[in-house]
Amino acid sequence: MATAGTGGAALDPGGGAAHLQPSALVTWWTILRTSIEERLVYRGDFALGTLMRFLPLVTQVFFWGAIFDALGAVSATSTVAGYTNNEIIAYYLLTQISRAFSSMPNLSNSIALQIRNGEIKKFLVQPVDLIGFLLVSRVAHKLVYYLVAVGPFALVFFLCRGFFSGWPEPHIMLAFLLSLVMSFLIGFFLEATFGMIGFWWLEVSSLLFVYMLLNFFFSGHMFPIDMLPGWWGTIVRAVPLQYLAYFPAAVFLGKIQGTALAWGLLYQLFWVVFFVVLCRWTFNRGVQHYSGYGG
């Protein structure tokens, strides 16, 4: 049962596990274990897919190389929005790590699908909390992903080690890890909330597409959001999407330090709580709105 403790710790944020009895722990541990086994079936495909995800990086290295060449011809101190050429590439590499935590492939769609085809009923009848269940299976999904992806990631980061100026200080590293965990939670509860919209709309895929577009641009996945000028930058910093890719990467690179770092982490925590509450609230409202027939 020592291992069951770690399983329980992982699902505390779910909110559904306020009073953990041994039997509840066994249930959640079983859910976690089955999900892990389910995920390991496609490990080969996983590893290959992960490695291929780094291919666009090759183009980005040359793209930014050409940009900095053009800059270097004009002035000696060539930085773009405070980033050197190496830092930009390191930034892109780091956003891949942020995305590995914050992206939730297929979460919203599967929730909306379960609402549409009535499968959701089993969570209304059985003593298992839907959000808690989804969170645990997502943790399992992610654990397996890291287990398999650590190989390709290590390889790519080793090959690209020249773009980094060394490991950050321990407290920065700690902040980085903390922000990654929170980016996972924001990603999960935000996308789960999108799925809950399915209670009203049934089909959420077009909404998701719009969200994905905005996410790619405003999370900093496409470029460091420091590049955005004036009020554009202000707006993007006020929107929680930056915590899904930009923030952890910028923390690692030491772009955010001291009090700004503390405030950043606090804001991120605020958004975690915000989306936990929002997700729970939309779920409760949705269940009241929901009517299931037949089957």
Residue 244 zone, left/alpha/beta (φ > 0; ψ -120 to 50; rest) = alpha
Site track 236-265 with another protein (rule: CB under 8 A), x = hit: ------------------------------
55 near another protein, judged by CB under 8 A: yes
Give dist(CA 77, CA 199) in Å, integer: 54
Q: Is 59 in the site for another protein (CB under 8 A)?
A: yes
20 lies in the binding site for another protein (CB under 8 A): no
168 CB-near residues (< 8 Å, 6+ apart)? 176, 252, 253, 254
One residue of 201, 209, 263, 281 binding another protein per CB under 8 A: 209
Nearest to another protein of 118, 151 (CB atom) = 151
Q: Does 161 bind another protein (CB under 8 A)?
A: no
**Judged by CB under 8 A, which of 6, 63, 82, 281 binds another protein?**
63
According to the binding rule CB under 8 A, does residue 80 interact with another protein?
Answer: yes
Rule CB under 8 A: is residue 217 a binding residue for another protein?
yes
By rule CB under 8 A, what count of residues binds another protein?
Answer: 30
Nearest CA-CA partner of 132 in 29, 267, 4? 29
Segment interacting with another protein, rule: CB under 8 A, options 19-27, 52-60, 122-130, 143-151: 52-60
Amino acid type, 277: V
191: nearest Cα among 96, 102, 286, 285: 102
Within 10 angstroms of residue 46's Cβ, the number of other Cβ atoms is 19
Residue whose pair of structure tokens reads 């290295």 in the numeric block? 61
Of 53-61, 109-117, 136-144, 175-183: span binding another protein (CB under 8 A)? 53-61
Of the candidates 183, 172, 167, 33, which has an alpha carbon nearest to the alpha carbon of residue 100?
183
Could you tell me the end-to-end alpha-carbon distance of the chain, in angstroms, rounded to an integer? 38
Q: Is 287 in the site for another protein (CB under 8 A)?
A: no
Q: Examine residue 235 and tell whether it contacts another protein (CB under 8 A).
A: no
CA dihedral 241, 243, 244, 247 (to 10 degrees): 130
- The reply to whether 49 sits near another protein by the rule CB under 8 A is yes
Q: Which residues are near another protein by CB under 8 A? A: 45, 48-49, 52, 55-56, 58-59, 62-63, 65-68, 70-71, 74, 80-81, 206, 209-210, 213, 216-217, 222-223, 227-229
